[in-house]
Structure 1
């Protein structure tokens, strides 16, 4: 998932600064230096800040959505450009993880062989299919969100969606799961995150959406969007837990590629759940 993480030992810096800079260094193309020491403490701090790179991706896409609306682009084209921006800013590392996991699951192989398939650098038809289906669902959901009646609703949800999905994907790094290898990126992050951090981010992202909605949107739409984001986070976390359990049974644990798959899939699930709630509420 990230070639920037190689296990080392030494003295850690301040927790908040190290966690934020490392999350941005590992999970985006932005020029952050990150930690000097890579161990499970580093992994725990970086995963605690996992939604922060998502906020940067979301705000970038929200600005792009506003510009595209003013130019006159269709919601579908705007959604495609937003999803492309997310993948370019993360150098498509999460798609790589999803492809590897898709190949491993589709093989129906025993856990040992499935782990070998994940480690294979080549992508098969099953992995490519998983990527295409996930991206197609992301684009379709995002285009419907961008096309919501009030022009500010779509950009607001777009701004928070990548952070919401990464908050949900933190479930895979929680202490409910374990890595299937004692080395590699997964060994630094799987099993490090306390569940209370996931709840903290869920409450924080929902509250931030509510405040922004109160400023940018009419009352009814603001409440619907806030409820949608809350439901999207909860639905994404539930999906992440279910899928991570399945992966853990099939693979004998999780690794960094599994986290990439969770991020890509929960982006679609969070968006779909949010959209359903926003459309359902009056």
Structure 2
């Protein structure tokens, strides 16, 4: 069977457009993926894993759409009636779809679970009757590791209410007292905060660092509260990043400086 030149050209152009579309899709997804990469190539962060899962899902969906469009156009140009094929595929698709409802439900639920950032790898959560640490999140399933080492593999479509214990907010107060006048105290603290508030600290805080102002001024000593708000799981790391810098930068103040973390500031 010989094809008219016009049909042959249309087929080649269609295939070429399909290849270009697939290439552009991968290029866009690659740039999207790059936005979530951190500066350490030796490790893969949880955010990078989520981005990779999303990219993989979008790539599969995009490839299916592009391939389907190209095949339909090519078959039509070859002279094959696509009406009966579409009708047959519709029946098969209905049968498969009816049998694969749970799979589709899992995929859609997994997609929104990732997009909405409901849970992250490392979070301690309760899903249904299962409580454990999130080890892996895919489009289809979520894996939890229980306290006794048991592994829960939960289809995403079965996930209803989620209790995330790792999203509790910690409001940490560092109380600083120094033998200086209030104006100098605020000036010193303001300068130190600018040095503290780097990218590493920013990504672990849920709100900007807050300075309460002069809490008290007695006996020539001014007291200021610095308030750091973070997720509970990041609290110790935030203290480890902030407190040493405070002590280092304020050591030149004459007299004894005290740093205290009062109890009862975990919300």
Q: Under a length normalisation based on structure 2, what TM-score does the superposition of the two structures give?
A: 0.24
Larger radius of gyration: 2
- Higher helix proportion (structure 1 or 2): 1
* Relative contact order higher in (CA < 8 Å, ≥ 6 apart): 1
